Amino acid sequence: MTARQDITNAVEGAALGEVAAHFAGPHPIVVEGLVNRFGDHVIHENLSLTVNRGEILGVVGGSGTGKSVLMRSIIGLQIPQAGSIEVLGRSITGDGDEGDVDIRSRWGVLFQGGALFSTLTVAENVEVPLKEFYPEIEDELRHEIARYKVMLSGLPAEAASKYPSELSGGMRKRAGLARALSLDPELLFLDEPTAGLDPIGAAAFDRLTKELQETLGLTVFLITHDLDTLYEICDRVAVIAEKQVIAVGTIPELLATDHPWIQDYFNGPRGRAAQNSQERGRAVKADQAVKADQAVYSDQTGTAASADDASGTMDNPAGGEA
């Protein structure tokens, strides 16, 4: 199969929600004993983390705890002083080889602020990874893929021809997401994707992330400070503090721990507000589901009654006694 057929099939498969899981193991990301330091400043000391396939893992921690450094280590942009990292069954911390190019084509990254090339249009930004990993693809097909990814990210088709300076902050985030999705990745790394967005825009981005994760079968590594995001879409949350991952679990599991930082983070005013918001949202959804069921039942009852009336009329067309 040619590279063109590969990409075409991948695009068509994504459009139909038929993306094959290339990595069959349970843990696409495994970090063990990680050490990162800058001079005498130690960022991570014996940090370990395991990410489950198909989950959205939220990563939280105070400022300066090394959340972004951890992500950069996992994708090979930061060389740790010690420890091991395996991504999709391949070692990232070992000696580099030709296979490194292949493994890097299997994840997508949305950096803080989008990190778009300012002199390229949105579509041209999306095409950058395609040109790097599949230079033999014809221009027409590459343009088609870029347009599809732009719309997949929730942007209007006309945004493809715009430059980053012509976009709002939220649109730049989505453009960066479109580029991250350009190679149909198995892993998606998001670094503060809702930072700087208004509440409505942040909620919309959360919904988009969840929809893409479910439709494309992605594993998502999501760094955030947004408590609403954690409550709404994250399956588990990893907490970085004291130079390590001190806890990983669902939010109820984390709330059951007695670590001071975790309690302050999730039980503070913002944490309680996010929790209350989620509970109200669930109550509204439950009420809507009940009303929908009642409407269906009412329709079915009305239809059955109409059918009975029609049957009676046919049996006794004159309307008299039998």
Structure tokens at 95: 């000696």
The stretches of the chain forming alpha helices (DSSP H) are 3-16, 67-74, 99-104, 122-133, 139-152, 169-180, 199-216, 227-233, 251-255, 260-267, 269-315
Residues with pLDDT less than 50, the chain: 3-4, 8, 12-21, 320-322
CA distance 104 to 88: 10
Which two tokens mark 69? 């450094």
Q: Running DSSP on this structure, what letter comes out for residue 164?
A: G
**pLDDT at 322 (0 to 100):** 41
Tens digits of residue pLDDT in 127-159? 999 999 999 999 999 999 999 999 999 999 999
Query: What sign does the dihedral 25-26-29-34 (CA atoms) show?
Result: negative
User: Could you tell me which of 255, 207, 213 has the C-alpha nearest to residue 232?
Assistant: 207
Q: For position 142, what pLDDT does the model report?
A: 95
Determine the pLDDT at residue 267. Answer: 87
Bridge partners (DSSP) listed for residue 91: 86
- What per-residue confidence (pLDDT) applies to 304? 57
Q: What's the CA gap between 241 and 44, in Å, rounded?
A: 9
Q: How much is the pLDDT for 316?
A: 56
Q: Name the CATH architecture for the domain at 3-249.
A: 3-Layer(aba) Sandwich (3.40)
Cα 170 → chain centroid? 16
CB 245 within 8 A of CB 81: no
Cα–Cα distance measured from residue 275 to residue 68, given in angstroms and rounded to the nearest whole number: 26
Phi, psi of 37, rounded to the nearest 5 degrees = -145, 150
Q: Are 223 and 67 in contact (CB under 8 A)?
A: yes
pLDDT at position 312 is: 58
pLDDT of 40 = 93
Question: Rounded CA gap, 288 and 237, in Å?
Answer: 29
> Cα separation of 79 and 37, whole Å?
10
Pick the closest to residue 17 from 170, 211, 165 (CA basis). 211
pLDDT of residue 114: 84
- pLDDT of 112: 87
**Exposure of 133 in the CB half-sphere (CA atoms within 13 A):** 22
How many angstroms separate the CA atoms of 171 and 210, rounded? 18
Cα separation, 177 vs 183, whole angstroms:
12
How many CB atoms lie under 10 A from the CB of residue 170?
A: 19
